[in-house]
Amino acid sequence: MTVALSGQGADELLGGYRKHQIAALAGATNRLPRAARALGASAGRLGPASSTAARGIVALTTDDPALRMLAMSRIVQARERESLLTPEFRQAGAEDEIRRAIERNLPAQALSPLGETLHLDTRLALVDNMFLYFDKMSMAASLEVRVPFEDHDLVAFCTALPDSRKVWRTRRKEILKRASRGLLDDHVIDKKKRGFFHSALGSWLRVHRNSLYEDLLHDDRVRRRGQFDVGEIERLVSAAGRKGKKSDQRLFSLMLLEKWQRFYVDSDGELARTLPKHRSLAEAS
């Protein structure tokens, strides 16, 4: 059996993302007088609510860990969801449900903003996203992958570390980088982090914009579904690869949602076509 080792889990344990820098800074901000933090929060409301600056100020000044996580991590903001969906598909109380989903995974004990963020990442993004896609990709190639960073002893050790060993000043995964000196070349340790598909998403959308739009978001099936606001979708498509990472991610998310619905929801989707075959095999066995 072919086996590979993966570095999955190191970012969520040791603070490998930019939001972990923000969370570490929020810990320092929390030591400021409440009046100063309130003034900073008011300044953040002066600009567009979905802007990077406004979301960053919310993350730095709020005491609410769920709100902090949403400000740092979400792709589609509340107001953007309202404009993307037609009135028939807007759900009252959706924001409360989203926040409750995060709050159910908060740590039982009081932690620092960085500790809370890392805990939520391990409970949400790591198991529902990172491990999931990595396992599917490796199994599709008959490759067995192990994740040594998720060894329970190592997890317990990393969880007990102080914040400064995870994010020191602005340097992420501090203790891992120090431990790796002399084992790896410095340029490998110090190179800029590149997220999975993030740097290529804009270019990919720009190259395939027309075909993706016609095949996925502008055909009769989408119009009959009546889920998306056509004008807003057209604006996202026209901005593909030009308006920044968040705009590209919103368009990509809508494309994935439409693909998922065509597979699992539509009566003539792939799942509906394969179910009779699966039932026959189950009955025969």
Where does the chain have alpha helices with state H?
10-14, 18-29, 34-44, 52-61, 65-73, 78-84, 94-103, 113-123, 125, 131-140, 152-160, 174-180, 186-190, 198-212, 220-225, 230-238, 245-264, 270-284
- Residue 235: what pLDDT? 87
Q: Do 106 and 234 fall into the same domain? A: no
**Pairwise CA distance, residues 5 & 10, whole Å:** 12
Which pLDDT does position 50 carry in this prediction? Answer: 66
Range 222-230 contact pairs with CB under 8 angstroms and sequence separation of 24 or more: 222/258, 225/261, 226/86, 226/88, 226/89, 227/85, 227/86, 227/89, 228/84, 228/85, 228/86, 228/254, 229/83, 229/84, 229/85, 229/86
Nearest to 130 by CA among 231, 8, 220, 244: 8
User: Is 150 found in the same domain as 77?
Assistant: yes
| pLDDT of 284 strictly over 60 | no
Residue at which a domain ends, from 161, 187, 213: 187
Mean pLDDT of all residues in 77-95? 89
d(C-alpha 21, C-alpha 254), whole Å:
29
Q: Average pLDDT in the 156-163 region? A: 95
- Is the same domain home to 206 and 265? yes
117 and 59 together in one domain: yes
Comparing 74 with 32, which gets the higher pLDDT?
A: 74
H helices of 52-93, in order, are: 52-61, 65-73, 78-84
Q: What is the number of structural domains in the chain?
A: 2
Residue 263 lies in a domain: yes
- Does residue 152 have a pLDDT over 80? yes
Angle between helices 65-73 and 18-29 (to 10 degrees): 140
Q: Are residues 27 and 123 in the same domain?
A: yes
Q: For position 51, what pLDDT does the model report?
A: 73
* Domain contains 285: no
- pLDDT at 168 (0 to 100): 93
Considering only residues 212 and 260, tell me which one the structure prediction assigns the higher pLDDT: 260
pTM of the model: 0.84
For residue 6, the one-letter residue type is S
Q: 178 and 237, same structural domain?
A: no
- 154 and 228 share one domain: no
**Cα separation of 188 and 19, whole Å?**
22
Provide the residue range defining the domain that includes 251: 198-275
Q: Does any domain span residue 282?
A: no
Q: In which band, very low, low, confident or very high, does the pLDDT at 264 lie, cut at 50, 70 and 90?
A: confident
52 token code pair:
């990077």
118 and 250 fall within a common domain: no
Q: Which of 187, 212, 231 is the last residue of a domain?
A: 187
Mean predicted lDDT score pLDDT of the chain: 85
Q: Is the pLDDT of residue 89 over 80?
A: yes
The answer to whether position 280 is within a domain reads no
Q: What pLDDT, on a 0 to 100 scale, did the predictor assign at position 252?
A: 87
Q: Compare 185 and 210 and report the one with higher pLDDT.
A: 185
Q: Give yes or no for residue 82 having a pLDDT over 70.
A: yes
Would you state the pLDDT for residue 281? 47
